[in-house]
């Protein structure tokens, strides 16, 4: 019987091919793993807003006719605004913007912040009229105060304190009045220092919100 010899040759035998991974696939896979991990390190966080000016002590009265001033706001961050109840131009929009801001604070759990609106027509805007205005505009008075007082004291805090304009009251045709004033918002920290002035549009409100959180975290 003849013995068959086993050949050591691989001829005729097809070896399985080793598949190499696409380098682009590997890069994409690595990105999916690494990007979420390093994203917090890449996020840009601006520095907290600087102190622009220190407010003097002030005292007026609120919509309930009760004394209200800087002493009640020590240790609290607040957003100051300037309006008057007979304003038919910027004030309705400003008040609506402030309501949006207050609602966002509430919905996102930002509790340690207040809103304070200063009347720039204090001779007309009595506490009763401020309270009526708050009711007609659905203002939540739990952390939003409207303040008034004698004209020289209001002017002092607006012009000398906040460094914002406050014109004389002008009587217009048809029983309308106008008082030139700023429609900007002022963000005040726990120490009574102004940390920024912001527009009351959507971009400005967003910045006020984030700047508020920065200051609260200090």
Structure-token pair, residue 45 = 């966080």
Residue 60 pLDDT class (50, 70, 90 cuts):
very high
Q: Is 57 exposed, middle or buried (0-12, 13-18, 19+ CB in 10 A)?
A: exposed
Handedness of CA 114, 120, 125, 126 (dihedral sign): positive
State the Cα–Cα distance between residues 90 and 75, nearest whole angstrom. Answer: 30
pLDDT greater than 50 at residue 5: no
Residue 199 is encoded by which pair of tokens? Answer: 């527009």
Tokens of 211: 């700047």
CA distance 66 to 146: 11
User: What angle, 0 to 180 degrees and rounded to 10, lies between the N-to-C axes of helices 202-216 and 90-107?
Assistant: 40
φ, ψ of residue 58 to 5 degrees: the values are -145, 155
* Model pLDDT, residue 11: 53
pLDDT (0 to 100) of residue 26: 63
> What are the residue ranges spanned by the domains of the chain?
53-216
Q: Where does 53-216 sit in CATH, by number?
A: 3.40.30.10
Kindly report which listed range (21-25, 99-103, 203-207) carries the lowest average pLDDT score.
21-25
Residue 27: pLDDT band with limits 50, 70, 90: low
Look at residue 14 in the predicted model and tell me its pLDDT: 58
What is the distance, to the nearest Å, from the Cα of residue 204 to the centroid of all Cα atoms in its chain?
A: 7
Q: Whole-number mean pLDDT of the chain?
A: 88
Q: Which residues pair with 195 in a beta bridge?
A: none
| Amino acid 122: pLDDT | 97
pLDDT digits (tens, 9 = 90+) for 69-97: 999 999 999 999 999 999 999 999 999 99
How many CB atoms sit inside 10 A of residue 97's CB? 21
User: Is the model's pLDDT at 172 over the cut of 90?
Assistant: no
pLDDT at 174: 77
Q: Is the pLDDT of residue 7 over 50?
A: no
């Amino acid at each position: 019987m003849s013995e068959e010899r086993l050949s050591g040759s691989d001829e005729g035998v097809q070896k399985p091919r080793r598949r190499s991974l696409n380098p682009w696939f590997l890069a994409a896979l690595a990105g999916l793993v690494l990007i979420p991990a390093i994203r917090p390190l890449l996020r840009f966080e601006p520095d907290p807003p600087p102190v622009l000016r220190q407010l003097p002590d002030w005292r007026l009265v609120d919509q309930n006719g009760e004394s209200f001033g800087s002493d009640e706001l020590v240790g609290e961050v607040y957003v100051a605004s300037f309006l008057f109840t007979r304003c038919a131009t910027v004030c309705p929009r400003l008040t609506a913007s402030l309501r949006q801001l207050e609602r966002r604070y509430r919905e996102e759990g930002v509790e340690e912040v207040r809103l304070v609106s200063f009347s720039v027509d204090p001779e007309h805007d009595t506490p009763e009229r401020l309270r009526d205005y708050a009711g007609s505009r659905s203002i939540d008075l739990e952390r939003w105060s409207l303040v008034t007082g004698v004209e020289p004291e209001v002017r002092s805090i607006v012009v000398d304190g906040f460094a914002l304009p406050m014109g004389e009251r002008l009587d217009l045709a048809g029983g309308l009045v106008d008082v030139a004033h700023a429609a900007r918002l002022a963000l005040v920290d726990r120490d009574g220092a102004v940390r920024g002035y912001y527009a009351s549009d959507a971009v400005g409100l967003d910045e006020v919100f984030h700047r508020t959180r920065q200051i609260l975290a200090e």
